[in-house]
Structure 1
Amino acid sequence: MIVFDLRCTGDHRFEAWFASGESFADQQARGLIACPVCGDIDVRKAVMAPRIGAKSNQLASATAAAPAPTSGEPTPELVRKVLAEIAAKQAEMLPHSRWVGRDFADAARAMHEGRAAEDMIHGQASPDEAQALRDDGIAAMPLLVPIVPPEAAN
């Protein structure tokens, strides 16, 4: 399996797993890959950093220093690392997103129905509003790291 960072013409970036590079090319040619944000099928590989494993002589010392958990649960270090990566990605994306405050559900619905330009937005929605968006097939997801609304920031 191989993971590729992908980007659509709307500049939405996402990753996907494929059996091989040829599998990606085949699916791309047949229009089977679509952006999960906007549904665009004009998807290309994005520039990505290589994922290089540890050197074999460092692998033994790394496992000796930090024994693998036996319960199958992630280590606290791994959890901290993943949360830091999520926070960094969210911080990178928020400046490119428009704050809509409590009007999030209405703004997302207007974009979905074509009454407003598609844009990256963030704001606040009640649990009932979020569920109604999901029920209507409108893609929205919570920010994983809490933010301070602009009007509440110092």
Structure 2
Amino acid sequence: MIRYALACEHEHPFEAWFSNSADFDAQVERGLVECPLCASRRARKQIMAPAVTGTSKTAPAPSPEAVQTMMMQAAQKVRAHVEANFENVGDSFASEARAIHEGRSEARGIYGNATADEVRALREDGVPCAPLPPARPRPETLN
């Protein structure tokens, strides 16, 4: 297995694992490598430093609580970015995503609500979509 640092056409960095270099090339050509931020399927390799093992001690793994905190912070940043930069289409998400995919509506970033059946149908038809991380609970709703 080989890990590549990648970037999409919008310069969003991400990483992915492949069996070998030829596997990466084949998956990119088939449109199977997708940016997790914008869903662009135009990915390219970035320059990476080789992984070199040494004798120095590594830092201890973070605690499960620390990992959970980091993941929640990352999820909230993703949600905040979407809410600030994408259009909220509410309950029309499935129909609007399909219209954008089919070229019947202006291409733009959207978010909104969809049922599980609507999401399943979108994915089966090749319409890119992903769940939005849940909103942070308001303090007054917590015990």
- Shared fold, TM over 0.5: yes
Name the structure 1 match of 2:7: 6
Name the structure 1 match of 2:140: none
Q: TM-score, normalised by structure 2?
A: 0.63
Bigger relative contact order (CA 8 A; separation at least 6): 2
Q: Is structure 2 residue 99 aligned with structure 1 residue 110?
A: yes
User: What's the offset of the Cα at 1:117?
Assistant: 2.5
Distance 1:46 1:104, change over 3 A: farther
Name the structure 1 match of 2:141: none
Where in structure 1 are there 5+ consecutive unaligned residues?
A: 49-55, 67-74, 149-154
| Pairwise CA RMSD | 3.9
Q: Is the 8 A contact 2:5 2:47 kept in 1?
A: no
Name the structure 2 match of 1:43: 43
Where in structure 2 are there 5+ consecutive unaligned residues?
A: 49-55, 138-143
CA distance in 2, matches of 1:147, 1:84: 10
User: What's the offset of the Cα at 1:104?
Assistant: 0.4
Larger radius of gyration: 1
How many pairs were matched up?
A: 128
Amino acid at match of 1:97: F
CA distance in 2, matches of 1:147, 1:97: 18
Aligned positions of 1:69-88 closer than 5 A: 75-88=64-77
